[in-house]
Amino acid sequence: MKPIRTGIRTRRTARTPALFGGISQRAFLRDYWRKRPLLVRGALDPAIAKIIDLASLRQLASRADVESRLVDVHRGRWRVKHGPIPRSSRPAGPARLWTLLVNGVNHHIPAAQQLLERFAFLSWARIDDVMASYAVPGGGVGPHVDSYDVFLVQGRGRRRWRIASPQEFELVDPAPLLLIKNFRAEDEYILGPGDMLYLPPGWGHDGVALEPCTTFSVGFRAPRADELGAAFLDWLHEHRLPDTVQLATGNSAGAPGEIPASLAQAAGLVLEHMRPSAADERRFVGEYLSTPKPHVVFHAPRRALAEPAFARALARRASIALDPKSILLHRGGMWFMNGESFPAPLALRPCLKALADTRRAAGWPAVSSALLYDWYLAGFILLSG
Ligand code: SIN
Ligand code: CO
């Protein structure tokens, strides 16, 4: 438990847990975020240990609309089984060290969503989800490196984390776990219920359960440049490419091996057309960043109100909350909800901004809004009160 080369500092909270112990969010952003790890003892109420038990985790892992993995060590080799994982499934035989990991538990467990919302100051465009893991004593996913920021919040039991600063790690197997060969830890910490370890991208880490334990990982999205580029080409294809127009064929003008000038020019014109305008860029980036993960499924309200009743409820100051799976972002007067962009009537904007920032808003103006009703029917927003 001694800080060595990593320069990690331990923060201890006073009686009311403050996420970063004695330091402010501002100081966290300045001194730690994307720079160096931070261990906070008692960052959260130890009751966090109770927000999910193994039975509920198994139940979530058995669903097709939930992303889950079962990791175990078999004869010295790490194995990963992707969900849905039947409730009864657990590694048998000599493989006794296993971990069950479930992504997006905040979509199903309100207390996990409340945990995620503690990190809202870091931007909803970056926040991913809460992954919960359950490990048997000795279990873990092995020493590995992640390409994103993560807050590791200890739930039930104790876990020993060993960490190493970013370096050219030699990987056992690049996929899917990014396991590190010959991992040499520089520091180690034992976390108990409510303790939290922040790790910037690229830090090697190895968490081993000392007793049956749950860990909540609050992860952040970090779009990769190649993925963003490929998604943009798909977006262009869907929105702007004249894919039915045939290029001028031209002719060889006596040199059959030469590319005809008219054909080269026509191809150049098509590529020219692909250059995004500033408006395209804004729209694509907003739609891309607000796209939920592929597993996510939205459900229409069970007994949906008809549009006039919906409008009456809003007029009576009903409040609207985002479904926990929804991502609502905005920039430059454009609104991006779950991968689609919308212009919004001016009168709605203050409430929409509150909805995007705090995930709930009341006091909607008395404008009939087809936009809100569409979102309600799609299951993107919930009406209450
Ligand atoms: C775990 O909860 O077992 C793994 C979390 C992580 O390393 O990101
Ligand atoms: Co990790």
The residue nearest atom 6 of ligand 1, judged by CA position, is 217
**What pTM does this model have?**
0.89
Q: Specify the pLDDT at position 4.
A: 38
Residue 36: C-alpha distances to residues 5, 118, 199, 313, 327 (Å): 11, 20, 7, 48, 28
Q: Which of 54, 97, 131 to mutate to test the pocket of ligand 1 (most atoms within 8 A of CB)?
A: 131
Condensed to tens digits (0 to 9), the pLDDT of residues 47-83 reads: 999 999 999 999 999 999 999 999 988 777 888 999 8
Pick from 117, 142, 48, 160: which is nearest to 324 by CA? 117
Nearest-atom number in ligand 1 for the CA of 139 is 3
Look at 343 and 41; give whichever has higher pLDDT.
41
Q: Which ligand is nearest to the CA of 207?
A: 1
Look at 34 and 73; give whichever has higher pLDDT.
34
Question: Distance, CA 133 to ligand 1 centroid (Å)?
Answer: 7
Given a cut of 90, whether residue 283 has pLDDT beyond it is yes
Nearest-atom number in ligand 1 for the CA of 132 is 2
Condensed to tens digits (0 to 9), the pLDDT of residues 256-267 reads: 888 888 888 888
Structural domains of the chain in order of their starting residue, each with its CATH number: 8-220 (2.60.120.650), 225-249+258-275 (no CATH), 307-384 (3.40.366.30)
The residue nearest atom 5 of ligand 1, judged by CA position, is 217
Q: Which of 78, 148, 195, 217 to mutate to test the pocket of ligand 1 (most atoms within 8 A of CB)?
A: 217
Rounded Cα distance between 275 and 288, Å, is 17
**If you average pLDDT over residues 174-192, what whole number do you get?**
88
Q: Which ligand is nearest to the CA of 71?
A: 1
User: Does the beta carbon of 146 lie inside 6 Å of ligand 1?
Assistant: yes
Q: Specify the pLDDT at position 29.
A: 96
Out of 104-108, 193-197, 337-341, 360-364, least confident range: 360-364
Question: Distance, CA 205 to ligand 2 centroid (Å)?
Answer: 6
User: Does the beta carbon of 103 lie inside 6 Å of ligand 1?
Assistant: no
Out of 197-211, 262-276, 336-350, least confident range: 262-276
